[in-house]
Structure 1
């Protein structure tokens, strides 16, 4: 079983408009509502791929109840721990070739609620082969939460994937996750300087405290630095669409590759193609498998 952790789960709302013009009124052509948060998106893609997955985290109020209900409707198993405060909403205003996101901060979590989650996590992780820790931390959750969860997962014999940013990412790295998936901006913050292109970042990435680093550079593709080698994987041409959720699809593909016998070339091909399929999907956090299989044939991989 794969366990995904979303401590700052969200109710995702996507508004589709012909064009976003600040300071004006818009008529929305379509509204979509989904359970969201980075780990929830990862769980949804893994479920689409047919992998056994359980989504856990913190969920509160009417938004939290709606998140859990929507996951049940999709057939994604969930084991969220309730909190008293209201879970956040994230709003994406999607144009044909761009997207604007508005992220609420999330509920304030009490010490007793955090202790309850740690107990639930300890029960769930016993059956997990891989634990995916994704996204931001809501107010009240300790900044070193991911470090504590990675250490607990390791004690239970599970491998770990970390996809966060800022101080939660820095603290999590100190626990030595098996795989970390920063984007270019997060990677620059970790190494202390700009990284103009994937090939220029290999030496900097090797200094991070993780066995494997797969960094996403948007349209420029993925840089993977592993114990078996380093690669740059990309599509020859950029795609138009909504990039929200592309990184989560990438994490799902990499996690899928950890529980199935896949070479690194195959894992990276899957990761680029699933990310691209997420960009082309009409709603954040979803993928079309037919689109994914077609895009897979176009992926280029160069060994560095």
Structure 2
């Protein structure tokens, strides 16, 4: 992978204090005794920035923090060494709780929706983004929106990035995905369920084509253990599908965020080769599953990159499940 020309700038509008609990067995309706959780500052954009930073590339995470949860969020993020620009807000930072069942290998996630920010907070957050743009080589907007957030928030980020001549990746769901497509996002990274829900389609190919027709340049759709599919405006009618060829046991919470990190690093280095993009995203996503919490990947990502199989015009998996935050 060639050198990154500048910083991968991530924007997380709905950050969370992630708490991951290992449990021997998760039994609905019963009482569980668990050890203290593995706690870290999270949210999809934060997780992406962590992976970029872990692998030695320049990253800057822009987000907000507030209340007692926000204090813990800030302390952990500062201690992590991940470069960041935080806006202190009055709205308390939400929590996300993941319970990893050691017996089944399945992870159950409970995400708080978040608390509305003041209208002025959004302007201040975008001011932080604008201050960082001169040093950026790629911009990432990722995660859900808190209640009452402007619906065109990610579209605004896409337009701001384009005005600065920078590629922009958006990883979100719902109307924000459609808004980002219409704004001309360079890459959209929904998972299968998010794509179908946002577009109202019952088929991944039709849903991805809808986003490209709306204005997106590329759509990278993750389908959990079934791999990833890449659709591009530069190659209409062509589907690239990548799989690792085997199922990994672990925590899939940050798999999609690691995929976004891979795409961001490549775009920041000026590499837009679709096969390399898809191969690296699939390998980093798989490597994230092996880690106990979101925001880091296993060194085995280099091995996985060699194992990834890419099929041109491959069939998109008909069903899959992936956890997101």
TM norm structure 2: 0.87
Higher relative contact order (CA 8 A, sep 6+): 2
Uncovered stretches (5+) of structure 1, i.e. residues with no partner: none
1:197-216 aligned within 5 A: 203=209, 206-216=212-222
2:154 corresponds to 1:146: yes
SS at match of 1:133: strand
The correspondence for 1:275, drawn from 281, 285, 292, is 285
2-structure distance, mates of 1:153, 1:261: 15
The correspondence for 1:236, drawn from 245, 263, 267, is 245
| Paired residues, number | 301
Uncovered stretches (5+) of structure 2, i.e. residues with no partner: 1-6, 314-325
2-structure distance, mates of 1:44, 1:137: 20
The alpha-carbon deviation at position 61 of structure 1 amounts to 1.6
Change (3 A) 1:232 1:98: same
1:60-75 aligned within 5 A: 60-75=66-81
2-structure distance, mates of 1:70, 1:63: 11
The Cα RMSD (Å) is: 1.9
1:284-299 aligned within 5 A: 284-289=294-299, 291-299=300-308
2:90 corresponds to 1:80: no
1-structure distance, mates of 2:146, 2:269: 33
Query: In structure 1, what is the equivalent of residue 111 of structure 2?
Result: 103
Most deviating of 157-166 and 119-128: 119-128
The correspondence for 1:50, drawn from 53, 56, 60, is 56
8 Å contact kept, 2:173–2:198: no
The correspondence for 1:246, drawn from 230, 255, 259, is 255
Change (3 A) 1:216 1:204: same
8 Å contact kept, 2:17–2:73: yes
2-structure distance, mates of 1:30, 1:280: 20
2-structure distance, mates of 1:199, 1:148: 26
Deviations 1:184-207 (A, max 9, x none): 112212443222xx6787755643
2-structure distance, mates of 1:288, 1:12: 19
The correspondence for 1:221, drawn from 227, 234, 244, is 227
Change (3 A) 1:272 1:31: same
SS at match of 1:162: strand
1-structure distance, mates of 2:128, 2:197: 32
8 Å contact kept, 1:19–1:95: yes
1-structure distance, mates of 2:244, 2:205: 15
Change (3 A) 1:139 1:200: closer
SS at match of 1:56: strand
1-structure distance, mates of 2:127, 2:308: 42
SS at match of 2:307: coil
Structure 1's consecutive aligned runs of 4 or more residues displaced over 6 angstroms after TM superposition are 198-202
Query: In structure 2, what is the equivalent of residue 59 of structure 1?
Result: 65
1-structure distance, mates of 2:157, 2:212: 23
The alpha-carbon deviation at position 3 of structure 1 amounts to 0.6
The alpha-carbon deviation at position 251 of structure 1 amounts to 0.5
Change (3 A) 1:269 1:142: same
The correspondence for 1:158, drawn from 152, 166, 175, is 166
1:168-179 aligned within 5 A: 168-179=176-187
8 Å contact kept, 2:141–2:171: yes
Deviations 1:233-280 (A, max 9, x none): 111112222111110001001111112254322222211111111112
8 Å contact kept, 1:3–1:132: yes
